[in-house]
Structure 1
Amino acid sequence: MRAVPNSLHDDVADRLRSRIFEGALHAGAFIDEAALCTEWAISRTPLREALKVLAAEGLVRHEPRRGSFVSEVTEQDLDEIFPVIALLEGRCAFEATRKATAADIAALDTLHDSLQAHAAARRIPDYYAANYSIHEAIITLADNRWLAQVIADLRKILKLARLQQLHAPGRLEQSLGEHLAVFAAIRAGDAEAADAAMRKHLMRQRDALRELARHGKSRLLA
């Protein structure tokens, strides 16, 4: 059976989303619809449909008679988002622990070996990549599409903020310890401990970002 191709507005949404995440369109930037239509050789209709998609995701805001702008994430937004995503990812860790096989544990072990190696060498971009892979692996193991969907939506907002919490003093070592605590609980089959450790890990991220904000360094480009 042939896959149904994406609609034009989905493709436009993907392109616009990429520009936002890459920083070509920064937080608060005006989205020049006429310029984009000319550049991409499209009509206003698919672009406006794409903007509706991004507005629903929280990445774009529309102001009557002014147009569309890239959303800005405030400290209050982060204070409200992190407890929610901590609960969701904690539940993922809980469900992943109950469902993980020996092969799954072995795969997580390999990922954590990589995480430790990057931390020891202070390769922060590689650490971020390994960190992301571990979170994705746990979400996949949880096998709960509703959790995965809501987490993905919230991650888009956090990605929009372009936060780099590992730049806080001592945060790299702290983050590694938190990850190892989550993994130890999963390996031991203790779902409640895995849940608690994951929630602690996410909330510690917020603490680190708050500390950076006090020093004017909370938003550093990746």
Structure 2
Amino acid sequence: MRSVADSLHRQAAEGLRELIFAGELAPGSFLDEAALCERLTVSRTPLREALKVLVAEGMLRHEPRRGCFVAEITERDVEQIFPVIALLEGRAAYEATGRAGPADLAALEVLHERLRAHAEAGRITAYYEANHAIHEAFITLADNRWLAQVIGDLRRILRLARHQTLHVPGRLQQSLAEHLQVFAAIKRGDAAAAEQAMRHHLFAQRDALRELTRNPPSRIAP
């Protein structure tokens, strides 16, 4: 049975993740402990335990005598993470294909229609959320807890960049086309093609992040 202290630091950790994923704590920003205690309604002890958790997850970095900062994804991170997650999520798509029944395909159809609608309307935040739901659906359908665990760890890091890549010119439409290719392969039961299409999708996302790291948003043409 979890203690009250354990529950409080888990609650604080989840609150911090939500603030980071929502963009309210931007990459590179300093974490003011007093302000966070007030915002999350916790004391210093559970907050500091939560900070340790997020440092271990790679979402924060700790600098001696300075404190904690929200981690930033570097070009090296991009080059190291994406080949790994492309393999893992490609495998998840492969396994999901073999397990997808009529009800699963119907649910995925709804998610992809929602994704298409958001892309056509240019609703980037809504598109990102639908995109995330589709990836989660594939992972759940694959029903492989080891894949789910490792992908989840890597996705937490990648979410530091959130939907910034979707602001790269043309990326929103490209992402939609890539997703539709994965889904088309799953619908026809072609596991190998689904795996390949998912890998292509992840590497395309890597290329968009490369563009962002080399040409920050202020330098990318509208």
- TM-score > 0.5, shorter chain as reference: yes
Residues 38-187 of structure 1: pairs in structure 2 closer than 5 A: 42-187=42-187
Deviation at 1:157, TM superposition (A): 1.1
- TM-score normalised over the length of structure 1: 0.86
SS at match of 2:62: strand
Letter paired with 2:122: R
Contact 2:59/2:156 (CA < 8 Å) preserved in 1?
A: yes
Q: Equivalent residue for 2:29?
A: 29
Q: Deviations over 1:60-113 (max 9, x none)?
A: 122233322222221111121111111111111011001111111121122222
Deviation at 1:25, TM superposition (A): 2.7
Contact 1:97/1:190 (CA < 8 Å) preserved in 2?
A: yes
Q: Equivalent residue for 1:208?
A: 208
Decide which moves more: 78-87 or 206-215.
206-215
Matched, 1:197 2:201: no
Letter paired with 2:14: D
CA-based RMSD: 2.6
Contact 1:62/1:69 (CA < 8 Å) preserved in 2?
A: yes
Deviation at 1:179, TM superposition (A): 1.0
Q: Equivalent residue for 2:217?
A: 217
Residues 1:10 and 1:215: Cα distance change in structure 2 (over 3 Å): same
Letter paired with 1:103: A
Q: What is the CA–CA distance in structure 2 between the aligned matches of 1:211 and 1:39, rounded to whole Å?
A: 35
Letter paired with 1:192: A
Q: What is the CA–CA distance in structure 2 between the aligned matches of 1:165 and 1:139, rounded to whole Å?
A: 22
Residues 1:188 and 1:60: Cα distance change in structure 2 (over 3 Å): same
Q: What is the CA–CA distance in structure 1 between the aligned matches of 2:109 and 2:34, rounded to whole Å?
A: 50
Decide which moves more: 210-219 or 104-113.
210-219
Q: Equivalent residue for 2:9?
A: 9
Decide which moves more: 144-153 or 117-126.
117-126
Unaligned runs of 5+ in 2: none
SS at match of 2:217: coil
SS at match of 1:162: coil
Contact 2:125/2:163 (CA < 8 Å) preserved in 1?
A: no
Residues 1:14 and 1:219: Cα distance change in structure 2 (over 3 Å): farther
Unaligned runs of 5+ in 1: none
Identity, % of aligned positions: 66
Letter paired with 2:118: H
SS at match of 1:68: strand
Residues 1:174 and 1:32: Cα distance change in structure 2 (over 3 Å): closer
Decide which moves more: 209-218 or 42-51.
209-218
